A = this chain, B = another copy of it.
């Protein structure tokens, strides 16, 4: 077997998906709280569908689908594969049951094992296995954000995990926010071809950066609270026009999971239920509009994705910045668009990234929900400006005059 470590990693990822769902009931796994989110059961099935459709269908001898209807039912958005069950109706699929979906997973796992055992010398197979593994890791993060959103819709504020949060990442030290300077430079960004990267991370190419500064840490809950208490949600001057209309129309006054009551003060809902707001924690679940308004209020701006990546690359050599990864995804001011020379893969798999390159903004770094080992400095996450159910925060940036730099 070629590259047995790859297959071992693959098995671990597959097992982790099941482990994430373990504390959830079949009911928890079946519900869908909004069209953007999917049921956990659907994630468990779709990630298996990915392997069955893109690997087994091509590489398995005597391929036979586990269930002929699953091709449609668990197709997310690949027009090249054919019909799709409508996304907003994923929560109505009480059949197949969670039990059947778990059986589907086991079946795919076994067939994949046999298939990889006999054909691991096929480079395309190994590439697709790696892609599917990365794909499943992405869905692991979505399983957490989606179940969090679902439980947040329940007025009982149910806790998925007992007790107060056991954060495996230490909280942001509430050190004074400092500014790190970066000189004007012609930098290279994009994936360098070593190890795995999604197609949207390349080609590696040159970008010129005017001098700029980045904050050495993320914006904290305490800082964001000061923004709220300064009347920011009532002040149109701080907001993009579209963002202002959006917060007015939806009557928004604070981040998605914040709650205020006169007795408890500010609390935040999470997988441990409703808990007191932690002032030093990186502010999360912000929309692009809120991140932009905060930056305007703070006399700053969001960084571009090239500024972020250039700084992250320097950080790898010299250290400087904190919280690049593992806390909150960091909104950038960069619209999600193709790098010069980008070309999507041919066939249905080419729909993975490229067709979403409009009206979305890039987030960099990773969050405490991101699986270990999944991120890297060239990684481009992306969501619409209204998205708040992702663990999205911000790091401030400022432009420098030539003389300041």
Contact = CB atoms under 8 A, between A and B. Distances in A.
Interface of A: 25-31, 33, 41, 69, 72-73, 77, 79-80, 85, 89, 91-98, 150-151, 153-156, 158, 184, 186, 205-210, 212, 236-237, 239-244, 288-289, 292, 301, 333-335, 337-338, 340-341, 351, 355-359, 385, 399, 401
B69 A28 contact: no
Nearest to A358: B240
Contact of A150 (B94, B154, B212, B335): B94
Nearest to A205: B210
Contacts of A85: 155
Contact of A98 (B27, B79, B95, B292): B27
A150 to B, nearest CB: 6
Contact of A154 (B92, B184, B242): B92
Nearest to A149: B92
Given A79-B236, A207-B207, 14 more contacts: A26-B27, A28-B95, A30-B30, A30-B94, A33-B92, A92-B153, A92-B154, A95-B154, A186-B186, A186-B208, A207-B208, A241-B356, A243-B358, A244-B355
Contacts of A95: 27-28, 151, 154, 156, 158
Nearest to A211: B340
Q: Which secondary structure dominates chain A's binding surface?
A: mixed
Contacts of A186: 186, 208
A359 B243 CA distance: 11
A155 B206 CA distance: 49
Closest 6 CB pairs of A and B: A335-B335, A208-B208, A79-B236, A210-B340, A27-B94, A27-B30
Nearest to A207: B208
Contacts of A79: 236-237, 244
B358 A97 contact: no
A355 B237 CA distance: 9
Q: Which of A69, A212, A292, A341 has the most CB of B within 10 A?
A: A341
A358 B401 CA distance: 24
B338 A333 contact: yes
Given A27-B30, A208-B206, A358-B288, A341 B94 contact: no
B340 A337 contact: no
A137 to B, nearest CB: 22
Given A30-B27, A155-B85, A212-B340, A240 B205 contact: no
Contacts of A80: 237
Given A153-B92, A158-B95, A208-B208, A333 B337 contact: yes
Q: Which of A209, A237, A333 has the most CB of B within 10 A?
A: A237
Contacts of A341: 210, 399, 401
Nearest to A78: B236
Given A73-B155, A241-B356, A27 B97 contact: yes
A41 B28 CA distance: 13
A359 B340 contact: no
Given A205-B210, A210-B205, A210-B341, A94 B242 contact: no
A270 to B, nearest CB: 16
A356 B288 CA distance: 14
A29 B151 CA distance: 18
Given A79-B237, A239-B355, A243-B358, A31 B337 contact: no
Nearest to A186: B208
A280 to B, nearest CB: 30
A102 B158 CA distance: 19
Contacts of A337: 333-335
A363 to B, nearest CB: 15
A305 to B, nearest CB: 11
A97 B208 contact: no
Contacts of A357: 240
